[in-house]
Structure 1
């Protein structure tokens, strides 16, 4: 089936590894023109550019308002043209086990800025550029936010835990709740004022084995409870998540799907 993504300009944030890089590869295989964003590690993207002329990369600190604005201004001037689809996939990882009662305001502010505020900035700038885009671009406009199952289940005694973003990072579950159930549902009602056929959805992965979390999953004390709470008795892969991202971004297949949170977690029933 043709997903209608050929020559569509797609921006994937946090594209250097894990889910982000797999998503970039899948879009390229479907004929999309892809901009892969990174903050500090461009090597995986540059390696792909050798084989894919429809791939370009861009660097930006997405917690900076001016950097996000410059990124979208620059992208609009590339041969790919205005961005039609954004996959908001970036994030940070905090290794400390810190319950809310012990969390500092510095840690709170840093996580909020790097994950939630940056997602707001990316979505806002995308919508601002969408205002002046052609009707063809507007008809295919889509925002795909990447959340986490921790936005649904939380994580007692490990408030900075969640798996998603550019390679599976640990971030606050209430941030994912804000993104999944606040930002997604608000944006799906607002994007249509800019692009009448524009859509906004969220993909929420569970545990996905990547280099970032493989060591933890090698511990039966971690992987055992995860699999026990998962009816399919297996972990997801980056491609499992990327497939759902691509499908929900396609106006051909998912043109009447918006405001939804789609869980990719093997039927997980919570945290044991």
Structure 2
């Protein structure tokens, strides 16, 4: 399917991780121009053959930033524009931190809570705000009738355990992550979809919410039979998702040709999961 993403400039945050890297390669497969954000290391991007080829062809730019720092985020967009040669018109907000050590709320440290909320929520706010600021500036200078503005979209990466439907799943002992993702994909998304059209009449905001995905962290967790049972017991498809399956949904929502009348929606990628087991088999 032609998603009409050729030469559309896509910025993906957290691009060196499992879902992020798959998203980068998915967009490259649709002939998009991609800026891949990383915080500490870009090794995964450099080692991937698709990314390496795209970098040589000037279709991929790696941009470093700490998304919790305003000045870093401003610099990231400036570098992305300079390296790719045109403004960002599709933003994929994928970065996140997750403390894998279970911590009941009454035992959770303030530092853990603050780190998670600052990175996952405030960091996303800073990235989205700068994207909107660039959109507003170009609208003022050039109007909206530009080739680069034919496809303007924001795609957020949420999580099924942190569903925007209040109280659906949640995640015991990881309330910091659950709270950050729920705020991002519910309150922020639903507000943003109504604001962004003031800057571009066809701009859209949607969310992809994965369940278990075969990342390095998930594969390690799945070695524990209790966790594996808990993850799949209410999942009819009886498997976890591949990063590429999530990435394809991101690309579909980013495409104006395919999803041009879709905004404010959350697409669940969880194999039909119906809930969580609070007391899994031993």
TM-score (norm 2): 0.89
Aligned to 1:181: 186
C-alpha contact (below 8 Å) 2:160/2:209 kept by paired residues: yes
Contact 2:11 2:35 in 1 (8 A): yes
Match of residue 53, structure 2, among 51, 54, 65: 51
* Inter-partner Cα distance in structure 2 for 1:35 and 1:105: 34
Q: Distance in 2 between matches of 1:214 and 1:79?
A: 35
Distance 2:201 2:13 in 1: 24
Cα deviation code 1:188-243 (max 9, x no counterpart): 00000111110000110000111122111122101112111101111111011001
The match for 1:68 is 73
Answer whether contact 1:138 1:196 (CA < 8 A) is retained: no
Q: Distance in 2 between matches of 1:138 and 1:62?
A: 24
In the alignment, the residues of structure 2 paired with residue 73 and residue 239 of structure 1 have an alpha-carbon distance, to the nearest angstrom, of: 29
Deviates more, 1:132-141 or 1:69-78: 132-141
2:188 and 2:257 map into 1 onto residues whose CA distance is 24
Match of 1:244 among 218, 239, 249: 249
Compute the displacement of 1:110 (Å): 1.1
- Which residue of 1 is the match for residue 171 of structure 2? 155
What displacement does 1:61 show? 0.2
CA distance in 1, matches of 2:70, 2:84: 24
Number of aligned residue pairs: give it. 261
* CA displacement, residues 134-182 of structure 1 (integer Å, 9 cap, x when unaligned): 523333110000011121211123435xxxxxxxxxxx10111101111
Give the 3 Å change call, closer, same or farther, for CA 108–231 of structure 1 in structure 2: same
Runs of 4+ in 1 over 6 A off after TM superposition: none
Greater helix content: 2
Runs (5+) with no aligned partner, structure 1? 161-171
Contact 1:184 1:201 in 2 (8 A): yes
* Alpha-carbon contact 1:143-1:200 (below 8 Å) kept: yes
Cα 1:243/1:260, change in 2 over 3 Å: same
| Bigger-Rg structure (1/2) | 2
CA drift at 1:256: 0.3
Whether 1:100 aligns to 2:116 is no
Aligned to 2:268: 263
Contact 2:40–2:64 (Cα < 8 Å) also in 1? yes
- Unaligned runs of 5+ residues in structure 2 are 164-168, 278-282
Residue in 2 aligned with 1:166?
none
Specify the SS of the correspondent of 1:253: helix
Correspondence 1:199-210 to 2 at 5 A:
199-210=204-215
Show the counterpart of 1:37. Answer: 37
TM-score (norm 1): 0.92
Q: Distance in 2 between matches of 1:219 and 1:105?
A: 29
